[in-house]
Amino acid sequence: MAEQTNPAAPAASARPRVLPPRALGRATLERQLLLSRSPMSAKDAVGHLVGLQAQNTRPPYYQLFARLADFDPAELSTLMESREVVRIVTLRSTIHTHTADDALTLRPLVQPARDRELNMFRRGLVGVDPDRLAAIGRELVEERPRTPKELREALLVQWPDADPQALSVAARCTLPLVQVVPRGLWGRSGQVELTTVEHWLGRPARPAAAPDATVLRYLGAFGPASVKDMQRWAGLTRLGEVFERLRPRLVTFRDENGVELFDLPDAPRPDPDTPAPPRFLPEFDNVLLGHADRTRIIPPRYRGRNGNGNQAYGTVLVDGFLAAVWRYGTPGGKPREATTLTVQALGRLSRAERDAVTEEGMGMLAAMLPADPSAHEVRFARFVDFGE
């Protein structure tokens, strides 16, 4: 049962209550729709979660399957085709799937991070006027969607002495570029082709989202959280003054290390013993990346075990914490053949936990892959097998 919270701010002399990782994890999982699947629509979920990490094309679909009741991948594809959601570089300088409204407002909000990124490549941009580059780049991609290679080569005509990679970064940082469909569609993806978000949506640019409103939305999806947590999630700095401005509207806690955590007064904070069913998450799911201190989901002993360098694995949550990694494969790589979902536990799982993971995995395969469900299987393997 969710904790009943007094919305009134605590007295100045009161010591904020300490929330251990398990309590923080249950609160975040509830807001991430991972304690029980939600009946909300895919579009509403994308908005509630303030976007889905979409560095690769399939993860947004698996993120929504883990969170929504009766999710059909075609629902998200339809939203992309109707331009109600888009793929665009925003948070942490990575591609996210956002609602159209968020794409128009969150991208300007994180522009300072894009400016810092651009500054890192300034040596390769000697003699390049960023404003002129943005104007030329906009004209090119709004004439017709361009691949990154086409855009880079066209810009090199204007600045032949510039570093090609730096020109590509400059275009991405100065322009709000979206990846147009069919890129990202379920089962029908294509190469990356870019145009501006305003041109794709047929709507003018909008003022950046107010940082105050975005802080509140972040807490609603990831809280309780510290200032540093949100800064890591957004890729921004200097948000402390925003939290201070909002302090009268928020409640505060401490984590076990004494770090101050902020939260919405009426947000759910379930009992730490609330059951958390197994969930299969794709690589780079934001619930794993949305905090500076990730111990609410990733036990310290498993830190760094859900990836290898720049390669991240799909992850399995058991009892609300990272417990395994996963991948699936098909004979001959043919998606309509029998599919084996391989789960590699990072530690010991009980028989009941293995059974629950198997049931959840079989449900995911049946919902997300077209093969006959009876052809699927879930198997458990040693962790080292992924490297073989």
Per-residue pLDDT tens digits for 165-222: 999 999 999 999 999 999 999 988 789 999 999 999 999 888 888 899 999 999 999 9
117: tokens are 């990124």
Q: Which regions of 66-191 does DSSP assign to beta strands (E)?
A: 85-89, 95-99, 177-179
Q: Average pLDDT for residues 100-104, to the nearest whole number?
A: 96
Query: Percentage of the chain with pLDDT > 90?
Result: 81
Specify the higher pLDDT residue, 255 or 329: 255
Instruction: Report whether pLDDT(265) > 50.
Output: yes
Helix pair angle (211-222, 100-109), 10° resolution: 120
Average pLDDT over the chain, rounded to whole?
90
Which of 115, 128, 158, 126 lies closest to 140, judged by CA? 158
207: tokens are 């003022």
d(CA 365, CA 375): 10
For 210, list phi and psi in degrees, rounded to 5.
Answer: -65, 130
d(CA 212, CA 294): 23
Q: Average pLDDT for residues 288-304, to the nearest whole number?
A: 93
pLDDT at 333: 46
Q: Average pLDDT for residues 108-134, to the nearest whole number?
A: 93
pLDDT at 82: 98
Instruction: Report whether pLDDT(1) > 60.
Output: no
Instruction: Report whether pLDDT(310) > 90.
Output: no
| Ramachandran quadrant class, 235 (left: phi over 0; alpha: psi -120 to 50; beta: rest) | left
**What's the Cα-to-Cα distance from 112 to each of 55, 93, 173, 242, rounded to whole Å?**
21, 11, 10, 16
d(CA 43, CA 55): 19
pLDDT at 337: 54
Exposure string of 219-257, with b = 16+ CB inside 10 Å and e = fewer, is bbbbbbbbbbbbbbbbbbeebeebbeebeeebbbbbbee
